[in-house]
Amino acid sequence: MGEAKLASPDPAQALVARSDWSDLGARILSGLVLASAALVAAYFGGPWLAAACGAAAVAMSYEWARMSEPDAIMPAFLFALAGSLGAVMFSSWQHLQWAFGWLVLCALASAFRRRTFAGVIETAGGAIYIGLPVALFLWLRDRAPEGLETILALFGIIWASDIFAYFGGKLLGGPKVAVGLSPNKTWSGIVTGTLAGALAGFGCGYLFHVGAEFRVAWLLIGALLAFTGLMGDLFESFVKRRFGVKDASRLIPGHGGVLDRIDSLMAATMLVGAALAFGPRATALLFGAGL
C-alpha cells in the first residue's frame, strides 16, 4: 500500500492547486460529519470520548506505520497501537503520568527493532506523537469543573483557524511559507488563520462571561493556539515530505487521513496540556462566572 514519491514542488502546479476547488464539497461534508461526532463525544465525555479517542488512535497508529515502515507495517502498527490505547486507558482514569510512562515504554520497545538512529527517532517519536495528544485531550476533558469548556474552546479556536487559513491561502495566495515542505501553504493563510483564532478566543471570553481584562487574555490565547495549530499542520507536512507521501491515508474524503485532519488540534492540545499541567488553576480565571 505504498504511496507515490513526491516530486519537487512546481510553482505552476502550486498555482493550479490554489485555484482548484474540486474537493471542496467532500471537504465540507466530511468536516461537518467529523465535527458533529467530535462535539457529541466531547459533550458526553467518559466512555464516549474514550471510545472516540481510541478510534482516532487506531487510525493514526496505522497511518504512521504505513508512512514510516511501509515494509514492516504490522509490528510498527501494533507497538504504536498498544502505546496509544494504553495511554487512552490510563488517561481516562486521570493517571496522566502512567499514560506517558506506558507510551515511552512501548515507543522504546518498538525502537529496538530499528537499526539506524533515524529509524529509532521515527518509531519512538511517532508513538509519542500519536499517543500523547490523545491522552492529553482526554485528560483535559475530564478535568473538573471546566473540562468541557476547555475542549469547546479548543475546538472553536482551531476550527476557526483551520477554516480561515484554508480559504485565506486559497483566495489571497502570496508568498509561500516553506515550499520545500508544503507548496500550497502561504503566509496569507497563516495570518488569516491566526487572526481568526484570536477572534474565536475573544469570543470565548464573552461566552464564558469573564472580565474585560481576561477577554484580552483570551484574544492572545486564541492567537497563540491558532498559530501553534498551524505550525502543527506544517510539521505534519514535514513528516509527510520526510516519508515521501502526499497524505497520511485516504480515510477522510477531501482531507486525507486522520493525522492530516487533526494535526492542528494535536499541537494545540499539547500546548494547553503542558500549560495546565504546570498551572492547574489558570482555567479558573479564564472561565470566570460562566461556570
- What pLDDT does residue 254 have? 77
> Does 235 lie in the same domain as 204?
yes
> Does 168 lie in the same domain as 114?
no
| Structural domain containing residue 63 | 45-142
> Does 51 lie in the same domain as 38?
no
Cβ neighbourhood burial of 54 (10 Å; 0-12, 13-18, 19+): buried
Domain count within the chain: 2
- Among 123, 142, 161, which residue terminates a domain? 142
Domain contains 64 = yes
- Residue 225, pLDDT > 80, answer yes
pLDDT tens digits, 128-183: 999 999 999 999 998 877 899 999 999 999 999 999 999 998 888 888 988 777 77
Number of neighbours of residue 156 by Cβ within 10 angstroms: 18
The pTM for the full model equals 0.88
Domain contains 279 = yes
Angle made by CA atoms 182, 185, 191, in degrees to the nearest 5: 145
DSSP-assigned letters across all residues of 205-218: HHHTT--HHHHHHH
Dihedral of alpha carbons 260, 265, 268, 273, sign: negative
- Mean residue pLDDT of the chain comes to 87
Cβ neighbourhood burial of 117 (10 Å; 0-12, 13-18, 19+): exposed
> Does 27 lie in the same domain as 66?
no
| 46 φ/ψ sector (left φ>0, alpha ψ -120 to 50, else beta) | left
